Amino acid sequence: MKLIRDPIHGYIEPSETQLEIISSPLFQRLRYISQTGLASHVYPGMTHNRFEHSLGVMKASGEMAVMIGRNSGLDIISPGLVQFISTLGMLHDIGHLPFSHTFELAIEMANWIYGMKLNESGRKTHVHIGLKIIEEELSKQLEKVAKETTISDPIKATKHALLNEPTTEEERLSSYIISSSIDADRSDYLLRDSYYAGVVYGLFDLERLKRTLVYKEGRVEVLEKGIPIAEEFLLGRAHMYQNVYFHSVVGMYNAILALAIANILKSEIIKIPESSTDLLSLTDFKVLNLISLTQNKFSKAILFRKGFRRDKDLELTGECARKFEKIKTDAMELISESEGSVIFHEFSDVPEQEPLSLFVSTKNGSMDIKKVSRVASSLGRLDKVILFHQEDVSPTILKSARDMIDSLRTSC
């Protein structure tokens, strides 16, 4: 028996097969993939990585499955299925590229700004890469885990669950536990990111939350007595976005990093990995090294926080920020023409802007949480756009960028 000591969940006890996966180079690589990009430029403690987050999701997803099984009384939630779900939780981020979602933003920038035609799926790019790696390199281990379940094709079940396209009850349950409005993934990153940022915004009672979940009518719901803890979770997530993930300086440095990576992609020094061998060599360290060797303008900002400043008075939020789409093409062209001397960065709470989808199991049946919780009904999407620039940018270029932002502000 192996025990892993974790600052968020205490002891994590992987099975032999899970330990085999953890010990593989592809999983160990996640030690060198930062969880939150360059958030450490603002919150110095946020140097944690996808490796520990993945272990945390493994622990949280397995325990959620156990508690849901107890509350629901369903035969399908066997010890074998619990192991399968926790393994999917552990593997859900194995395809992440350097600096996590910042690299996915870089792919989007490369396509928008430089007219490249790179394959990308937004914030799901890492999922597609991960599924390819799982099928090619970890199928034997998944088959071992699935032996104690009724799942006949574990690779297909994994794809359906992680892409949120379930076709069976087992896949649907797995999908809800790993990726939904209240899930193991969000539970771990809210607690873990709060811990390393040194803030309390994302803290909530995970032990209580796990014990108030039930599987009903093909979805995971919250028991009526769990409304207060569900509200705590939802508020914690909103506060983390407002104060940490959407911090203007965090966004500025992640956008500079994304543009630097986009330049590397354009020059074809690195490519989006097509094999496990390609992925294995692609880490934060490699990207930082390439940037430091090839891009002096961006490397000073990324390595030393020098050379760029933001226009504090020209931030767009709410409805004004949502209108950024109208000028996005022109904004991307200006970034290209100025060679990154001015940069617009668009934050969005959830890229697909999916609405809150959470139901409460009450005596009168299932009800949308927004109908029984004032807290949930008050939460909306978060949008923000910032403008920043190189300190010695041409006044003419800077005026063009500011005029674009002003044109939106006057129309709101």
Q: What is the CA radius of gyration of the chain?
A: 22
φ and ψ of 346, to 5 deg? -105, 115
Closest to 38 in 3D by CA, of 258, 194, 202, 240: 258
Give the number of C-alpha atoms closer than 13 A to the C-alpha of residue 259, restricted to the C-beta side.
26
The residue type of 397 is I
The kind and range of the H/E element at 101 are helix 101-114
Catalogue the E-assigned strands of 133-191: none
- SS3 state at 378: helix
For the whole model, what pTM was predicted? Answer: 0.95
φ and ψ of 372, to 5 deg? -120, 0
Return the exposure string of 267-299: e unless at least 16 CB atoms fall within 10 Å of the residue's CB, then b.
eeebebbeebeebeebbbeebbebbeeebebbb
Asked if residues 145 and 132 have their Cβ atoms less than 8 Å apart, the reply is: no
What does the alpha-carbon distance between residue 235 and residue 209 come to, in Å, rounded to a whole number?
14
φ and ψ of 89, to 5 deg? -60, -40
- SS3 state at 221: strand
> 314: exposed, middle or buried (C-beta count within 10 Å: 0-12, 13-18, 19+)?
middle
Domains of the chain (ranges; CATH) run 4-309 (1.10.3210.10)
Percent helix / strand / coil, the chain, rounded to 5: 60, 10, 30
The kind and range of the H/E element at 366 are strand 365-368
Per-residue pLDDT in tens (0 to 9) along the chain, 412 residues: 799 999 999 999 999 999 999 999 999 999 999 999 999 999 999 999 999 999 999 999 999 999 999 999 888 899 999 999 999 999 999 999 999 999 999 999 999 999 999 988 888 899 999 999 999 999 999 999 999 999 999 999 999 999 999 999 999 999 999 999 999 999 999 999 999 999 999 999 999 999 999 999 899 999 999 999 999 999 999 999 999 999 999 999 999 999 999 999 999 999 999 999 999 999 999 999 999 998 888 999 999 999 999 998 889 998 889 899 999 999 999 999 999 999 999 997 754 445 578 999 999 999 999 999 999 999 888 899 999 999 999 999 999 999 999 998 888 7
The owner of tokens 């203007």 is: 248
What string of DSSP letters covers 304-347? H--SEEE-GGG-EEHHHHHGGGGGHHHHHHHHHHTTTSEEEEEE
What does the alpha-carbon distance between residue 284 and residue 264 come to, in Å, rounded to a whole number?
13
- SS3 state at 218: coil
Closest to 33 in 3D by CA, of 86, 93, 92, 87: 93
